[in-house]
């Protein structure tokens, strides 16, 4: 390990407590997609205090940022943080089921967790900067704040607006059930759109009949005439038609998904007046872009038909459209060699005892080693690739989805993973409750080992790219070959969103709200005395 790398590792060791505390700070905010105000502010303040130039609200996204630090001429190396949490996953860092106190039980929580993801990458970039300063290494670091990953929201926007242009390499990190690097099979595509139905002109509906039903005109009222179905009916027709047509959208081969979320339904109107507004979001994943387009075509047809039948107008607003991931084996090989320098994570007995306490509280016999063995070893990229390919048909080149894929088309990129522990099953087929998995994400002793392996691997790899011209040249040559000439080449795929795309931050996303009663979740906190369980 040459001196600059050692400086970076020493810096991480010296700042371990500060970064660990920052991870728990972000974990505690638990802010969902497009509403990560406290989390983004915390990152911006930390980076500015460290000497970075930071653009807040980059790409027209209030909770995004773009940070830059330069030490003169040299390669441009980038990475990013995510920090969005997931609604419906509230849990305290305790070994029993306990959503956050004083809020709706279905508030947000970090699942992967993105708090670990963001701070793992942050630590790597801060350590790289420290080594560049100490050893006068030329180059530029870029670090992005990427909100709304759970809807693959921000990276395609940054890509379309030119934020990734001019980079020489990108380092992407994600917690996972192991310690490895992606080889060839990267993530597929994720598209999402919101369909809005508005009943702006109910009098135009074909069945509308406002004529009096008696000779006494005073008897004519909205209670005795046919009324337009309105926006809720449109939404339900869209929902049911899509359930019926889903079977025909794509053959039952490979892996693809289509899911929906009702953003708004009705406006608490009188029962005899038509609801004027409703919105439903569809998100779909598949390994091929032409499949993504075919799915959208069916959805658009369904929306038009639903609107026509219910006396509404239909609108579509895109949330995101990602490309598929582009592999770079040279980057993967370099990154894994650096991971091997540090070896797999290990977990102290305090962390393991927290896991055993979960098992006791579930009525299980606590295990001496409650974590699966995969978390305390490294898996080669080739072995990880073989395990992934065993799940897929031979023609399928991409699997699942994540918006990091938009980075991969602008510079050689790598995707590394380190362990985010879950509990070992006491017997085949046993599944722990979700709260147990969530609680472990807020325990430093379970998160820090994998998080700091990521930070060290990122720093070491970034320094190699900055100081070892042959390593960067190999990665760039492979990028040129795979894209048919680099950015703009014959096999290159351009961003799927337009440069003037307006990010969907205006939609009714789940969020925390401030009221005279204090901070609340967007759904009212249930009063247990005002409702009765139906049995």
Tell me the pLDDT tens digit for each residue of 124-149: 999 999 999 999 999 999 999 999 99
Q: Is the pLDDT of residue 215 over 70?
A: no
Q: Is the pLDDT of residue 423 over 80?
A: yes
Structure-token pair, residue 194: 């919101």
- pLDDT tier at 527, thresholds 50, 70, 90: confident
Structure-token pair, residue 89: 């996953």
pLDDT at 269: 65
Residue 278 main-chain phi, psi, to 5 deg: -155, 150
Q: 243 in the Ramachandran plot: left (φ > 0), alpha (ψ -120 to 50) or beta?
A: alpha
Nearest alpha carbon to residue 171 among 418, 470, 490: 418
Residue with tokens 């395609």, as numbered in its chain: 156
Which residues touch 53 (CB under 8 Å, ≥6 apart)? 67, 68, 69
Read off the pLDDT of each residue in 201-217 and give the average, rounded to a whole number: 61
Partners of 127 in beta bridges:
none
For residues 177 and 154, give the distance between their C-alpha atoms in angstroms, rounded to a whole number.
Answer: 25
Q: For the domain 194-321, what is the CATH code?
A: 3.30.70.360
Sign of CA dihedral 176, 177, 179, 181: negative
Which residues touch 389 (CB under 8 Å, ≥6 apart)? 185
For residues 505 and 62, give the distance between their C-alpha atoms in angstroms, rounded to a whole number.
Answer: 8
pLDDT at 272: 75
pLDDT at 284: 96
Read off the pLDDT of each residue in 34-43 and give the average, rounded to a whole number: 98
Q: 3-188+325-483, what's its fold?
A: Aminopeptidase (3.40.630)
Nearest alpha carbon to residue 85 among 67, 66, 63, 101: 63
- pTM summary value: 0.94
Q: How many CA atoms lie within 13 A of 493 on its CB side?
A: 19
pLDDT at 274: 86
pLDDT at 271: 73
pLDDT at 19: 98
Nearest alpha carbon to residue 58 among 162, 150, 132, 139: 162
For residues 91 and 118, give the distance between their C-alpha atoms in angstroms, rounded to a whole number.
Answer: 20
Mean pLDDT of the chain: 94
What are the angstrom distances between the C-alpha of 194 and each of 200, 236, 280, 296, 507? 18, 14, 6, 11, 9
pLDDT at 1: 82
Same-fold call for 3-188+325-483 versus 194-321:
no
- pLDDT tier at 308, thresholds 50, 70, 90: very high
Nearest alpha carbon to residue 43 among 113, 114, 91: 114
Which residues touch 392 (CB under 8 Å, ≥6 apart)? 185, 254, 255, 399
Q: Is 20 helix (H, G, I), strand (E, B) or coil?
A: helix
pLDDT at 221: 55
Q: Is the distance from CB of 186 to CB of 324 less than 8 angstroms?
A: yes
Rg of the chain in Å (alpha carbons) = 26
pLDDT at 526: 86
Q: At what angle do helices 16-29 and 114-135 cross, to 10 degrees?
A: 150
For residues 81 and 79, give the distance between their C-alpha atoms in angstroms, rounded to a whole number.
Answer: 7
Q: Is the distance from CB of 274 to CB of 256 less than 8 angstroms?
A: no
Read off the pLDDT of each residue in 444-472 and give the average, rounded to a whole number: 98
Q: Which residues of 249-260 are buried (b: 16+ CB within 10 A; e: fewer)?
A: bbeeebbbebeb
Partners of 193 in beta bridges:
282, 318
pLDDT at 87: 97
Sign of CA dihedral 176, 178, 183, 184: negative
Q: Is the pLDDT of residue 94 over 60?
A: yes
So where are the chain's domains? 3-188+325-483, 194-321
For residues 301 and 335, give the distance between their C-alpha atoms in angstroms, rounded to a whole number.
Answer: 46
Tens digits of per-residue pLDDT, 221-276?
555 567 789 999 999 999 999 999 988 887 776 788 999 999 998 776 667 788 99
- pLDDT tier at 216, thresholds 50, 70, 90: low
Tens digits of per-residue pLDDT, 39-72?
999 999 999 999 999 999 999 999 999 999 999 9
Sign of CA dihedral 346, 350, 353, 355: negative
Q: Is the distance from CB of 84 to CB of 116 less than 8 angstroms?
A: no
Read off the pLDDT of each residue in 8-15 and give the average, rounded to a whole number: 98
Residue 154 main-chain phi, psi, to 5 deg: -100, -35
Read off the pLDDT of each residue in 288-317 and give the average, rounded to a whole number: 95
Read off the pLDDT of each residue in 438-457 and give the average, rounded to a whole number: 98
């Amino acid at each position: 390990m040459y001196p600059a790398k050692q400086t970076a590792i020493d810096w991480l060791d010296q700042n371990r407590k500060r970064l660990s505390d920052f991870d728990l700070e972000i974990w505690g905010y638990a802010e969902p997609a497009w509403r990560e105000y406290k989390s983004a502010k915390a990152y911006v303040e930390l980076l500015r205090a460290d000497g970075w130039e930071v653009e807040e609200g980059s790409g027209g996204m209030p909770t995004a940022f773009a940070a830059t630090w330069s030490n003169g001429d040299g390669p441009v190396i980038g990475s990013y943080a995510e920090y969005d949490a997931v609604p419906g996953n509230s849990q305290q860092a305790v070994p029993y089921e306990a959503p956050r106190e004083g809020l709706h039980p279905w508030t947000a929580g970090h699942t992967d967790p993105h708090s670990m993801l963001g701070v793992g990458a942050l630590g790597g970039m801060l350590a790289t900067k420290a080594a560049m300063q100490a050893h006068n290494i030329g180059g530029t670091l870029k670090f992005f704040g990427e909100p709304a990953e759970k809807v693959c929201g921000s990276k395609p926007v940054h890509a379309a607006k030119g934020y990734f242009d001019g980079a020489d390499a990108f380092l992407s990190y994600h917690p996972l059930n192991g310690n490895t690097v992606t080889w060839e099979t990267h993530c597929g595509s994720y598209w999402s759109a919101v369909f809005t139905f508005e009943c702006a002109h109910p009098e135009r509906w074909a069945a509308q009949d406002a004529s009096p039903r008696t000779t006494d005109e005073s008897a004519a009222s909205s209670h005795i005439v046919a009324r337009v179905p309105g926006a809720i009916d449109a939404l339900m027709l869209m929902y049911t038609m899509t359930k019926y047509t889903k079977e025909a959208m794509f053959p039952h081969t490979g892996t693809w998904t289509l899911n929906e979320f009702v953003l708004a339904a009705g406006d608490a109107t009188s029962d005899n007046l038509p609801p004027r507004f409703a919105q439903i979001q569809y998100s779909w994943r598949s390994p091929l872009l032409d499949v993504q387009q075919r799915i959208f075509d069916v959805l658009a047809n369904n929306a038009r038909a639903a609107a026509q039948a219910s006396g509404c107008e239909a609108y579509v607003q895109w949330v995101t459209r990602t490309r598929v991931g582009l592999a770079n084996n040279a980057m993967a090989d370099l990154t894994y060699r650096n991971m091997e320098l540090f070896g797999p994570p290990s977990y102290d007995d305090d962390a393991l005892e927290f896991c055993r306490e979960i098992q006791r509280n579930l009525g299980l016999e606590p295990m001496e080693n409650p974590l699966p063995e995969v978390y305390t070893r490294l898996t080669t990229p080739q072995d990880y690739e073989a395990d992934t390919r065993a799940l897929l048909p031979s023609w399928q080149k991409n699997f699942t989805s994540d918006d990091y894929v938009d980075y991969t088309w602008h510079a050689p990129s790598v995707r590394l993973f380190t362990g985010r522990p879950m509990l070992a099953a006491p017997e085949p087929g046993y599944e722990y409750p979700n709260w147990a998995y969530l609680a472990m994400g807020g325990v430093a002793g379970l998160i820090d080992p994998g998080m700091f392996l990521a930070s060290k691997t990122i720093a070491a790899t970034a320094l190699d790219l900055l100081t070892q011209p042959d390593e960067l040249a190999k990665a760039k040559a492979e990028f040129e070959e795979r894209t048919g000439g680099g950015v703009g080449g014959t096999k290159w795929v351009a961003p799927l969103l337009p440069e003037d795309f307006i990010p969907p931050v205006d939609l009714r996303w789940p969020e925390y709200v401030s009221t005279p009663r204090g901070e609340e979740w967007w759904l009212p906190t249930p009063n247990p005395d005002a409702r009765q369980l139906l049995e």
